[in-house]
Amino acid sequence: MKIIHIVGARPNFMKAAPVIEAMHSFPTITQKLVHTGQHYDPNMSQIFFDQLGMPRPDYNLEVGSGSHARQTAEVMVRFEDVLLECKPDLVLVYGDVNSTIATALVATKMGIRVGHVEAGLRSWDRSMPEEINRVLTDQISDYFFTPSVDADENLKREGIEPRSVFPVGNVMIDTLVKLLGKAREPTIPGRQEKFVLVTLHRPSNVDDPAMLGQLLATLNRISESIQVVFPIHPRTRRRLEQYNLSGVGGNLLLTDPFGYLEFLWLQQHASVVVTDSGGIQEETTYLQIPCLTMRENTERPVTVEIGTNILVGGDTARLRQEVENILDGRAKKGAIPPLWDGKAGMRIARILDGLLSLQ
């Protein structure tokens, strides 16, 4: 039984790593790893293979950056050749990036089954490219591995056959649980003991110069009370340079991106995390660290309903107020959602071993 795993962007690596490792326990399964090259910066790609202990990719499509249409098309064209050569029984896709929908579409048109890890998540915001990717991938997949109850309900509402839906938990938490003890403090000159950790990269926050400038001004104001550490995503750095935004105060530290182990340490020790990333909403919920999400919606509502996450939208005044509440000891209390226990990868491997053995 041949399975191909698809990774393309930073979040995919954390999701695929535990599934690949778990499948080593099943001798009937042969695995190959395809890296589409959607994230090609060493700080966003290579370092994750090293730190997560992932095998070297069997194929690197090296598609690089580009518009959504161009990037998706390049993945499709190059991945078709991989499928013609490998002839797998199943293509396993992760998350909601362009590589996810592109490879799923090629596979299903060639009559190859598709499994979607992290299926069923919905933000209900079609202006987000990731939402389009999620919805369409679920419409053409054969097996659905869900991280939370809301995902199960979304798939049922959309007419997906219940027997194809498998609640397995959150594979990103598998990686976190495994590596929590290996998290290591990064070298950040001038970093203080107490700090706010910030990561922002979504178009709604960084592509509008007025919004990005307002966010920087707010972070500078917050840094008057507590230090702000802001690892800059390559997209965000390009926008800062493009808009000539450099008004950064002395207690707002802009850094390069960190590897997984270093960023995990920062999350563990932050007083609060400000983000627009879906994965970080999940990780902070598991770590029980207060999280303020600069988005109007989230495809991970369980982090708000059960976890430590609060949506603040684009309201920078509320952002400041919520940070003050947390620093004053009024942080939201949260719990860890069901099945977020570090065993999702093994559940997926067992399910697929059984399914593929029967067919």
Q: Enumerate the H helices of the chain as residue ranges.
A: 10-23, 46-52, 68-86, 98-109, 129-140, 149-157, 171-179, 203-206, 209-222, 234-242, 260-269, 278-287, 302-305, 316-327, 344-357
Task: Give the pair of three-digit tokens for residue 256.
Answer: 């390069």
Report yes or no: 265 and 183 within 8 Å, Cβ to Cβ: yes
- Whether residue 26 contacts residue 356, with contact meaning beta carbons closer than 8 Å, is answered with no
| Residues facing residue 196 across a β-bridge | 228, 272
How many beta carbons lie within 10 A of that of residue 177, not counting itself? 16
Catalytic residue among 35, 201, 233, 269: 201
Catalytic status, residue 39: no
Strand partners, 293: 275, 311
State the DSSP string of 121-165: -----TTSHHHHHHHHHHHH-SEEEESSHHHHHHHHHTT--GGGE
Centroid of chain to Cα 289: 17
Query: What does 204-215 look like in DSSP terms, one character per residue?
Result: HHHTSHHHHHHH
Q: Which residues are catalytic?
A: 201
